[in-house]
Chains A and B, each alone.
Chain A
Amino acid sequence: MDLLDLPATPSRMRVAAEAAGAPPTSVQQALTLAAASPASRDWIQFLTGALLLLGAGLLLSGIVCFFAFNWADLGRFAKFAVLQAAVAICAGLGWWKLSNLSGRVALFAAAVLVGPLLGVYGQTYQTGADPWGLFFFWALLILPWVVVAHFTALWILTIALLDTALVLYWFQRPQIEIGEEGWLMLFVWGAAIHMAAVIAWELQRRRATPWLDEEWAPRLLVSTAFLALLAPAIALVLDLNLIGETWGAGFVIWIAAAAVFAYYTRVREDLFMLTAAGGAIMTVLTFIAGRIIFKELNLEMFGGLLMSGILIAEVVLGVAWLRYMIRRPAPPTVTSPEGEVIE
């Protein structure tokens, strides 16, 4: 990447302009331009985009609340008709304007409305299905739209639906209560869903023209996956007797971190991902050190000093290593004639 393509923050602009030999008046002019309010065109895009997203969100919330109220005066055929018409109109709008934000928002709305439609179906025919099934089949049914929409928010919605389905399933089917043996496996399965989604995201990103390219989404999923994996790992370190036969759950964080380190240093460099994995491992290491110092060695007074020193060393070495990893010369990548990246 050409460093001159970086966003012009005042500090970058000052450094670049002064190094380029610009006179003080030009440096000041460059700083004023860098600190200026966005252009009118950008403000209009921001306003229309924000109003569109807010409007769609409010309208969908209204529809969901309406069907949650289960208004008795509205017959079942009318309910189905209203919902199916809304899904059809939104999907049609999405198909018509798929390349625009408005089209993607319409397809997102269609995907959201599938949920109330399944809910009304359950209310009307009393299918007796478990709530987890609603969310699971909701995610499954909208999957084709997720693939064609190329819209990050819709992708995240699917993951959120799968998460909800997993949590509901976990407390209904295996009937494991919080604190019972094996319940921490819920966090491992949740993390597995997120990691699988990130793998899918990374695979599509290798296309010549990726379908999704907003990096906040995989970063959010990796961060939440590591947060979930911290629960069984810390329980294992503290020997909370919650793990039982599924003690292996406490080790999954190490495997996940190794995979993240390997991928995001060798294949695609991403300091955020490394920081998420590094932060999680440092947290587990701190708990291990705490257990050894305060429980095994019983170092009461000097334990605090030792822990403080360990934390300083951990953070300094961790951050230095992370910064080193990201600043090494990039590994060479080869592109095939079709535009696919070859290792």
Chain B
Amino acid sequence: MIARPAVGEILARVLPDDSAARDRARAALHTLEASGVPWYLRLLTGMGAWVGGGFMLSFIMAIVAAILGGKVEGVAIILGLGVMAGAVMLRRGVTGNGVGAQFLRQLALVACFCGQMLFIGGVGATTESTDAAAVAALIASAILIALYPDRVQRFCSTVIAVGSLLALIREMPYCADLMALLMVGGVLFLGRIASREGTDDQAEIVEPVMYGLAIALFGLLIVSTAILMFGGLEADMKEVRAVLIGKPTAFGFVLALLWLTASIFGEHGAQPTAPEAMLAFVAIIAIGWITQSTPAITATMLMLVLGFDRHARALIALSTLFFLMFGTAYYYGLNLTLLQKSGILAASGAVCLMASGFVRYRYRGYQALDAHEEPA
């Protein structure tokens, strides 16, 4: 159901039947697949690089402290910048897929993480200012996303940049709402618009940044939902205000989901005034209104729809997992007895089952069609 059409199927639609051309395409795909790295190997290399970066950092700091004594902050900034620059140059200069090239790539990644930590930590320690460290992290992340050609680094830099921006605007009213809406806007732009017809080089930036934004958004929503669920003292609430989302986010998520739905209907040639589109809009507004105490539910629905639209299995899996988590939080947080909750759970389940049956019955004509074929 999530699967994209096959390469051969699309090739047959754009090219006349030519077995020699198909053989050439097979050979090119073989080369491409041989150089590809699946996500779980990236995860392994990324985790190894983070831990390795931490050890390298401890070594550098120990050496600097041994030479200069206690005054290591200023040197850390310069060293951090130097190590980052060296890592970028090393990574951009490495070609090939041999073990030697892989070793240099991993070394560059470890050094890059280490340089990033040195630079951010050095700025923070020198100025004794969280804001300055956040600005340093933001600038370093932006530069690394643009210059360092590695998905793991781009993903991590995106998450660091989001955290830094939130730290920077933490005193602003509605800062968590602003961040949540910026992130959802970013995910929508990158997923629905920028990922469409970009070159492979652009995809190398767009995909990790999109996943970085999605993970950062889910992270913010988890923290906010957990604080709202389990509560806290008045003083604690003041301290954690920077990560608490509210009504503007709930409203913004609904608007974003409405836009995404309208955009998908538009791609399928349906007007926003079509009955299907109107029904979808009403359902989204109703869900948004009912679950306004837990806006994360609308956000995960948005990610789920976007994931299916973009055939992004990882986004679908993440959204499903978080949907279950936030759905549980929503029902747990209802100020009702267990008996009343059981009634609401059963009733909402019955509504979903009826909706599923209705959609299946109403659009039964579509079931017999081949993929990419629309009924007359």
Residues of A that sit less than 8 Å from B by CB: 2-22, 26-52, 54-66, 68-69, 71, 271-272, 275-276, 278-279, 282, 286, 300-305, 307-308, 311-320, 322-323, 327
The CA of A50 and the CA of B73, in the complex, are separated in Å by 54
> A20, B22: Cβ atoms under 8 Å?
yes
Q: Which of B27, B99, B268 contacts A40 (CB 8 A)?
A: B268
Q: Which of A16, A66, A305 contacts B7 (CB 8 A)?
A: A16
The CA of A129 and the CA of B253, in the complex, are separated in Å by 48
* 28 A-B contact pairs sorted by A residue (CB < 8 Å): A3-B30, A5-B8, A7-B5, A9-B4, A11-B203, A20-B11, A22-B14, A26-B15, A34-B4, A35-B196, A38-B309, A44-B366, A47-B356, A50-B304, A52-B353, A59-B349, A65-B339, A65-B342, A66-B339, A68-B342, A275-B44, A286-B51, A302-B59, A304-B62, A308-B55, A311-B52, A312-B103, A312-B107
Chain A nearest CB, measured from B177 CB (Å): 27
Could you mark each residue 71-96 of chain B with 1 if its beta carbon is under 8 Å from any beta carbon of chain A, else 0? 00000000000000000000000000
Residues on A with beta carbons closer than 8 Å to the beta carbon of B30: 3
B348 close to chain A: CB less than 8 A: yes
B63 close to chain A: CB less than 8 A: yes
> B44, A62: Cβ atoms under 8 Å?
no
The CA of A55 and the CA of B268, in the complex, are separated in Å by 27
> Which B residues from 212 to 257 make CB contacts under 8 A with A?
none
> A8, B56: Cβ atoms under 8 Å?
no
Residues on B with beta carbons closer than 8 Å to the beta carbon of A302: 59
B172 close to chain A: CB less than 8 A: no
Q: Which 4 A-B pairs have the closest CB atoms?
A: A62-B346, A55-B352, A4-B8, A59-B349
> A18, B28: Cβ atoms under 8 Å?
yes
Could you mark each residue 14-31 of chain B with 1 if its beta carbon is under 8 Å from any beta carbon of chain A, else 0? 110010011011111110
B129 close to chain A: CB less than 8 A: no
Q: Which of B21, B99, B309, B344 contacts A320 (CB 8 A)?
A: B99
> A54, B33: Cβ atoms under 8 Å?
no
The B contact surface, by secondary structure, is: helix
> Counting chain B CB atoms within 10 Å of each CB, which of A16, A39, A317, A322 scores highest?
A16
Residues on B with beta carbons closer than 8 Å to the beta carbon of A2: 8, 26
> Which B residues from 298 to 350 make CB contacts under 8 A with A?
304, 308-309, 311, 331, 337-339, 341-350
The CA of A163 and the CA of B363, in the complex, are separated in Å by 41
B351 close to chain A: CB less than 8 A: yes
- Contact A62:B363 (CB < 8 A) given known A12-B32, A17-B14, A312-B48: no
B146 close to chain A: CB less than 8 A: no
> B366, A29: Cβ atoms under 8 Å?
no
Chain A nearest CB, measured from B258 CB (Å): 16
The CA of A317 and the CA of B27, in the complex, are separated in Å by 27
Chain A nearest CB, measured from B359 CB (Å): 5
The CA of A4 and the CA of B15, in the complex, are separated in Å by 14
- Contact A51:B342 (CB < 8 A) given known A16-B7, A315-B48: no
Q: Which of B343, B359, B367, B369 contacts A47 (CB 8 A)?
A: B359
Residues on A with beta carbons closer than 8 Å to the beta carbon of B102: 316, 319-320
> B55, A19: Cβ atoms under 8 Å?
no
> B11, A34: Cβ atoms under 8 Å?
no
The CA of A12 and the CA of B57, in the complex, are separated in Å by 39
> B106, A69: Cβ atoms under 8 Å?
no
> A13, B197: Cβ atoms under 8 Å?
no
Residues on B with beta carbons closer than 8 Å to the beta carbon of A275: 40-41, 44
> B40, A313: Cβ atoms under 8 Å?
no
B58 close to chain A: CB less than 8 A: yes
Additional 17 contacts, C-beta under 8 A, given A11-B32, A275-B40, A304-B57: A4-B25, A10-B203, A17-B15, A22-B15, A30-B14, A36-B267, A37-B268, A41-B373, A44-B359, A46-B1, A58-B349, A59-B353, A271-B40, A303-B55, A307-B55, A308-B56, A317-B99
The CA of A315 and the CA of B51, in the complex, are separated in Å by 11
> B34, A7: Cβ atoms under 8 Å?
no
Q: Which of A17, A26, A301 contacts B66 (CB 8 A)?
A: A301
Residues on A with beta carbons closer than 8 Å to the beta carbon of B66: 301
The CA of A56 and the CA of B348, in the complex, are separated in Å by 10
> A315, B44: Cβ atoms under 8 Å?
yes
Residues on A with beta carbons closer than 8 Å to the beta carbon of B63: 301
> A15, B1: Cβ atoms under 8 Å?
no
Residues on A with beta carbons closer than 8 Å to the beta carbon of B348: 58
Residues on A with beta carbons closer than 8 Å to the beta carbon of B309: 37-38
The CA of A262 and the CA of B289, in the complex, are separated in Å by 54
The CA of A12 and the CA of B26, in the complex, are separated in Å by 10
Residue of A nearest to B204 (CB): A11
Chain A nearest CB, measured from B87 CB (Å): 13
Residue of B nearest to A302 (CB): B59
The CA of A57 and the CA of B327, in the complex, are separated in Å by 11
Chain B nearest CB, measured from A289 CB (Å): 10
> A59, B5: Cβ atoms under 8 Å?
no
Chain A nearest CB, measured from B347 CB (Å): 8
The CA of A323 and the CA of B372, in the complex, are separated in Å by 35
Residue of B nearest to A29 (CB): B14
> Counting chain B CB atoms within 10 Å of each CB, which of A34, A62, A64, A282 scores highest?
A62
Residues on B with beta carbons closer than 8 Å to the beta carbon of A7: 3-7, 311
> A48, B267: Cβ atoms under 8 Å?
no
The CA of A26 and the CA of B44, in the complex, are separated in Å by 38
- Contact A66:B373 (CB < 8 A) given known A20-B24, A308-B55, A315-B106: no
Residues on A with beta carbons closer than 8 Å to the beta carbon of B195: 10, 35
Q: Which of B34, B99, B197, B343 contacts A31 (CB 8 A)?
A: B197
- Contact A44:B353 (CB < 8 A) given known A21-B21, A69-B337, A286-B51: no
The CA of A20 and the CA of B27, in the complex, are separated in Å by 10
Chain A nearest CB, measured from B211 CB (Å): 15
B127 close to chain A: CB less than 8 A: no
> B106, A312: Cβ atoms under 8 Å?
yes
- Contact A6:B51 (CB < 8 A) given known A38-B309, A55-B351: no
The CA of A317 and the CA of B369, in the complex, are separated in Å by 49
B171 close to chain A: CB less than 8 A: no
Residues on B with beta carbons closer than 8 Å to the beta carbon of A52: 352-353, 356
> B342, A40: Cβ atoms under 8 Å?
no
Residues on A with beta carbons closer than 8 Å to the beta carbon of B1: 42, 45-46, 49
> A44, B26: Cβ atoms under 8 Å?
no
Chain A nearest CB, measured from B217 CB (Å): 21
Chain A nearest CB, measured from B202 CB (Å): 10
Chain A nearest CB, measured from B322 CB (Å): 14
> A39, B7: Cβ atoms under 8 Å?
no
- Contact A58:B352 (CB < 8 A) given known A11-B200, A44-B359: yes
